[in-house]
Amino acid sequence: MTRTELNILLMRSDDALRQEVERIAPGSRTFTRDDLDADEGLLDRVDVLYGWGVHNLLARAKRARWCQTVSAGVGWIQQPEIVRHPAVVTNVHIYDECIAEHLFGLLLVLIRRLDAAVRNQAAHEWKRVGEVDVLKGRTAVVVGCGSIGSRCAELAAAFGMNVLGVRRTAGPVPHVEAVFGVDRLLDALARADVVFDLLPGTNETRHLLGARELAALPHGALLLNAGRGTTVDTDALVEALKSGQLGGAGLDVTDPEPLPPDHPLWDAPNVVITPHYSGAAAGNSRQADEVFLENLRRFVADEPLINVADKERGY
């Protein structure tokens, strides 16, 4: 069966993208966010949505049959109105390299005290920054061994770290010496010098790393989070940092987000915060377009789509 005459909402204006869409789906009509702003009723006629911000529109796009996001995390699909919606939701898996490298950037800042060196440079002060260390021989625990977590494991192994993993499903992971189920999370954390949190933000993962889990870590361990801020109990995180139970944290995501200016996490000791941009890299937009266009070809040809998200699980 061939699907034609689709109304496709593209969340950005891009003539080249529109031309590719029209080549793959002849007879389709493409619209942009500007068109949506000018025509309030357009959303009622849309069959396909693509781009940033579609999570805010899908529930109201009653006719939509497919929604392609440009993010990896899609925890929002667990909302009841999205679960009930007949549209298929697909995401992209293009952020492995940039997020993994970003996390190791945060880790090196913490373990080599590069933040203190930058502050000293700004003050024109030549002085040592205190105790520093190396990664070789330390144990990394990757919580969430999807594609991004697997890349973190690979980089950790390249640094000479011992790598353990925690994941929902059983099975080996390349570069990971042992994989623990979620039911053995505390056992894995008890061996961690560094925790990589790559968990999606779902109902099941909310505050999975709470006071009990942070207390299970060896004193002075480091936490890195580029999954979702909601996977960590922020109050427990602040307390663990203040007490020294956590030796430091590198956070690209927080809860709440954006982090309010008066939030205590800003001033907690040994914290490096970046405003949720670990997934940014030149070329990402084109890679996301390629996923969308391949899925559009499949959608038109009535073939199975790639990267279909599970609305019940939230990823």
Q: Six-digit token pair at 242? A: 């203040």
CA distances from 294 to 241, 298, 307 (A): 45, 6, 11
Q: Six-digit token pair at 15? A: 């003539």
Q: Which amino acid is at 41?
A: G
First-to-last C-alpha distance (Å) of the chain: 29
Q: What angle do CA 310, 13, 304 make, to 5 degrees?
A: 30
Dihedral pair phi/psi, residue 286, rounded to 5°: -65, -40
Report the catalytic residues: 228, 257, 276
- Name the residue among 231, 225, 256 with its Cα closest to residue 315: 231
User: How is 194-240 classified by DSSP, letter by letter?
Assistant: EEEE-----TTTTTSB-HHHHHHSPTTEEEEE-S-GGGB-HHHHHHH
- Name the residue among 235, 229, 221 with its Cα closest to residue 270: 221
Sequence-ordered alpha helix ranges (H) in 135-198:
147-158, 185-189
Dihedral pair phi/psi, residue 18, rounded to 5°: -60, -40
Is the N-terminal amide bond of 26 cis, ω within 30° of 0? no
Going edge to edge, which strands form the sheet with 221-225?
Answer: 178-181, 162-167, 139-143, 194-197, 221-225, 246-251, 271-273
C-alpha span between 126 and 124 (Å, rounded) = 7
Question: 200: how many CB neighbours lie within 10 A of its CB?
Answer: 21
